[in-house]
Amino acid sequence: MPNSPRVITDSELTSDRANTPGILAAWVQDARKQSLQLLADLDDQQLIGPKLPTINPLLWEVGHAAWFQEHWVLQHVAGQPPIRHDADDLYDSIAIEHAVRWDLPLPPREDMFGYCRQVCENVLALLETTPLTEDLIYFVKLSVFHEDMHAESFLYTRQTLAYPEPDCEAVKATTGSVVGESTPTGDIEYPGGEFRLGAERNAAFAFDNEKWAHPVSVQPFAMARTAVTMRQYADFVDDGGYRRAELWSDEGWQWRTSVDAQHPLYWKREGDCRVFRHFDQWLPLHDDHAMIHVNWYEANAFCRWAGRRLPSEAEWEFAAAGNGASGKRHYPWGDDPPKEESANFDWQLMGTADSRAHSAGDTPQGCRQLLGNVWEWTSCTFGPYPGFVADPYKEYSQSCFGIRNALRGGCWATRGRMMRNTWRNYYQPDRRDVFAGFRTCARNF
């Protein structure tokens, strides 16, 4: 692959606001390298895996990520011919039904990985030889962020299938993993007021569902300083939380009984202790770590048990971004890109962090770990902002409006260059295989 013209700093790799050929090339190269590294240790059978509604065959998924980049950057922007004549028939996720993907005549792994590398090389060559245009910048970023999202799904697929933890260069002990003496407790009170929700028009990049910032009125509210921890959630389970119908919505109780959920996914008892599965290992509960792998129904049942509620998207973004005289912050801590001490991202710990960690990422009011660590469910159904217009990748958002629930903040498996206060994620309310947790708000304030 062509070399970048200079060494790219960590801050440039984690900032979504960089628009130079060298940084874009470094992103493309990094995204592809990490995707292949996350799958390198798996055998051919593991790369296909069982047919489940919540995952894709990994061999197909990595090819799809490369195809997406080829489709939008090399073909749509640069007008280049396809690298493989059969790529559309194999990797177009809109045209190929989910259940069919296990039965496609996929190339062998080395051919598949070779295709991925070839797409990357061609995009890097394009960036070396072609003047940057708005279209080229946008679609390169779109393809990198799309691949970053699939890298996150590679990790939760490995978790779903109890594959071993991947051996990755990015995993390292960090300054952010150093913890303080006690977990931040209590609520932070916010005065509310008029607030511009969403991405401003001068944003370096925004998905269509973030567009555009618009005024909303936020009532005064009080939100927890940290996400709900495993210890706190265990208290809910011990108090019969999964057996008490009055704690659940009608839809939530129907889900709970339909799957016979008695406790969180990946939890079980060993003697007198609870353990949870982290990839293929069973570990004691990490009491002070954020609760993870719970769905929207479970989060709401906990809230009702605790006399609390989930924050709205507007409340969450108000807490993360502020609303002062200088405008909204790009990140909870300010406008500097994420660093290891400010957030748990890029699978640097290959799991959640202690809630006492990453104090450098606190908001000025003291709210911790709003970005990274675990996705946080909000009370809101995912929907469009006023004046919504779909971007060229039309299927990204609008097909999910009204049928999924909104989450904020990113998780430990999210790439730092994607994280920002305005980014929205969305899953079906029964999904608990993803890296999602939640924090709560006071019910009456």
Identify whether residues 114 and 35 lie together within a single domain. Answer: yes
Tell whether 190 is covered by a domain.
yes
Task: Please enumerate, as own/partner, the contacts of 179-184 that have beta carbons within 8 Å and a separation of 24 or more.
Answer: 179/288, 179/354, 179/356, 179/357, 180/356, 180/357, 180/359, 181/356, 182/356, 183/226, 183/229, 183/288, 183/355, 183/356, 184/225, 184/226, 184/355, 184/356, 184/366, 184/368
Q: Average pLDDT of 6-27?
A: 79
Identify whether residues 208 and 97 lie together within a single domain. Answer: no
- Among the listed ranges 167-181, 311-325, 347-361, which one has the minimum average pLDDT value? 167-181
- The Cβ of residue 263 has, within 10 Å, a number of other Cβ atoms equal to 17
Q: Are 179 and 368 in contact (CB under 8 A)?
A: no
Q: Average pLDDT of 23-27?
A: 96
| pLDDT over 60 at 7, yes or no | no
Domain edge (last residue) among 160, 184, 204: 160
Identify whether residues 196 and 319 lie together within a single domain. Answer: yes
Rounded to the nearest 5°, which phi and psi values hold at 124?
Answer: -60, -40
Q: Average pLDDT of 171-186?
A: 66
Tokens 């890097």 belong to which residue? Answer: 124
Confidence class for position 174, pLDDT limits 50, 70, 90: low
Tens digit of each residue's pLDDT (9 = 90 or more) over 103-152: 999 999 999 999 999 999 999 999 999 999 999 999 999 999 999 999 99
pLDDT of residue 175: 52
Identify whether residues 338 and 405 lie together within a single domain. Answer: yes
Average pLDDT of the chain, as a whole number: 94
Q: How far apart are CA 57 and CA 71, in angstroms?
A: 20
| pLDDT over 70 at 383, yes or no | yes
Identify whether residues 302 and 434 lie together within a single domain. Answer: yes
pLDDT of residue 3: 47
Tell whether 423 is covered by a domain.
yes
Q: What is the DSSP secondary structure assignment for residue 325, as one 8-state letter?
A: T
Tens digit of each residue's pLDDT (9 = 90 or more) over 262-304: 999 999 999 989 999 999 999 999 999 999 999 999 999 999 9
Identify whether residues 22 and 115 lie together within a single domain. Answer: yes
Q: Are 318 and 191 in contact (CB under 8 A)?
A: no
Hey, which residues does 344 pair with through a beta bridge?
Answer: 372
| pLDDT over 60 at 425, yes or no | yes
| pLDDT over 60 at 2, yes or no | no
Tell whether 152 is covered by a domain.
yes
Confidence class for position 327, pLDDT limits 50, 70, 90: confident
pLDDT of residue 181: 61
Identify whether residues 361 and 393 lie together within a single domain. Answer: yes
Q: Are 139 and 70 in contact (CB under 8 A)?
A: no
Tell whether 169 is covered by a domain.
no
Q: How far apart are CA 295 and CA 303, in angstroms?
A: 12
Confidence class for position 180, pLDDT limits 50, 70, 90: low
Residue 66 to residues 28, 60, 158, 296, 393, Cα–Cα distance (Å): 10, 10, 20, 32, 15
Tell whether 371 is covered by a domain.
yes
Residues 6+ apart with CB under 8 A from 39: 47, 58, 62, 154, 166
Domain housing 204: 175-230+289-442
pLDDT of residue 308: 98
Domain edge (last residue) among 160, 183, 210: 160
| pLDDT over 80 at 326, yes or no | no
Identify whether residues 138 and 207 lie together within a single domain. Answer: no
Identify whether residues 147 and 27 lie together within a single domain. Answer: yes
| pLDDT over 90 at 9, yes or no | no
CATH number of 194's domain:
3.90.1580.10
Q: Average pLDDT of 335-358?
A: 95
Two tokens, residue 343: 């957030």
Domain edge (last residue) among 126, 160, 194: 160
CATH number of 150's domain:
1.20.120.450
Domain count of the fold of the chain? 2
pLDDT of residue 408: 98
Tens digit of each residue's pLDDT (9 = 90 or more) over 210-268: 999 999 999 999 999 999 999 999 999 999 999 999 999 999 999 999 999 999 999 99
Identify whether residues 179 and 156 lie together within a single domain. Answer: no
Identify whether residues 110 and 184 lie together within a single domain. Answer: no
Q: Average pLDDT of 337-364?
A: 95
| pLDDT over 50 at 1, yes or no | no
Tell whether 112 is covered by a domain.
yes
Identify whether residues 76 and 212 lie together within a single domain. Answer: no
| pLDDT over 80 at 92, yes or no | yes
